[in-house]
Structure 1
Amino acid sequence: MNGITLTLRVLHRGERHLAQELVTVAERHRVEHEVHHVATDLAVWSREHVRRLAETAAGRGLDLSAASDRDADGVFATLRRKASEAMGRRPATGLLLLRDLRELHVAATENSLHWEMLAQAAQASGDGELLELASACHPQTLRQMRWTNTMIKNLSPQLLTSP
């Protein structure tokens, strides 16, 4: 296994994790409509990255499909939705939202670093397919990072200073 193969595996796992976490956060904070809708939309990007990474890896003899795109269990999604509706907008919910946004940001940042590493390796090895993949997907990961960062900046002052 070479470094590119390892990076494809790690990035596939990271994008799958980010997609699942975005869905979890969207369900957990369903009453926060912007969070719910944007996180749901951003999860679609990560699922697409997972699909494209699996296809690219398959062309290199690496099978990532077995671990591909598992949605959250329906039971847990239902429980998160009911808990979100029951909790509403309490101060503790805001702190949970900040924690969730921070964790999403860290996960997106890690994926961004792996996309950058893949792009650099693709350039060094002259691999146009990998470079195209990274060039198509990395900007969306950067957008995921910008959204989480903006949400944290907007929500932190009020949530961290209110009694």
Structure 2
Amino acid sequence: MKDGIAHILRALHRGERRLARDLSTAAERHAEEHEIHHVATDLAAWSREHAERLAELAAGDGLRLDDDIPEPLPADGPGALLLLHDLRALHLAATENSLHWEMLAQAAQASRDERLLSLVSACHPQTLRQLRWSDTMVKQLSPQLLTSL
């Protein structure tokens, strides 16, 4: 496996694990917001699956991906601001993952790597859904939350 592809696989694996953890944290932290709780829980499962699939693909090429889990979301501030902070962090993490999936897609096409292209085709659309969900939540909740403070 080329060093550049290995680098992006590592970054994406870390990013998916972080996003899964952060989505689960947000779901627990904002359990009273039913849509946040339920959808974030489902989206976290997608990211856990993405990380597992990335690790399997990399292992098939003799590459071991880092198992370290990044630092969790900080837990400070009033509830409304904390919710918006969490949604912002989730959106940025999903954006970063989406860019990494796109880089892998381009590399897979250039190298004609069908296994990698198949993985990207299966996972990237779910990451785009995570991105759209976080954006929608910010748009729906920020007017009410920010004007109520």
CA drift of 1:99 comes to: 0.6
The equivalent position to 1:109 in structure 2, one of 68, 82, 95, is 95
Question: Which entry has the higher C-alpha Rg, 1 or 2?
Answer: 1
Instruction: Tell me the alpha carbon deviations over residues 83-107 of structure 1, each in whole angstroms, 9 at most, x when there is no partner.
Output: xxxxxxxx92111101100000000
Distance 1:162 1:10 in 2: 38
**Structure 2 match to 1:129:** 115
- Secondary structure of 1:111's match? helix
The percentage of aligned residue pairs carrying the same residue is 70
Q: How many residue pairs were aligned?
A: 144
Distance 1:142 1:24 in 2: 20
2:14 aligned partner, one-letter code: R
Distance 1:144 1:124 in 2: 27
Distance 1:32 1:45 in 2: 20
Distance 1:34 1:140 in 2: 18
- Secondary structure of 1:67's match? coil
**Structure 2 match to 1:88:** none
**Structure 2 match to 1:33:** 34
CA drift of 1:160 comes to: 1.1
Ranges in structure 1 where 5+ consecutive residues have no aligned partner: 71-79, 81-90
- Secondary structure of 2:5's match? helix
Task: Output aligned runs, 1:1-163, within 5 Å.
Answer: 2-64=3-65, 67=67, 92-163=78-149
- Secondary structure of 1:10's match? helix
Q: Any runs of at least 4 consecutive aligned residues in structure 1 with deviations exceeding 3 A, and if so which?
A: none
CA drift of 1:155 comes to: 0.5
Q: Considering only aligned residues, what root-mean-square deviation do their CA atoms show, in Å?
A: 2.0
TM-score, normalization: structure 2? 0.91
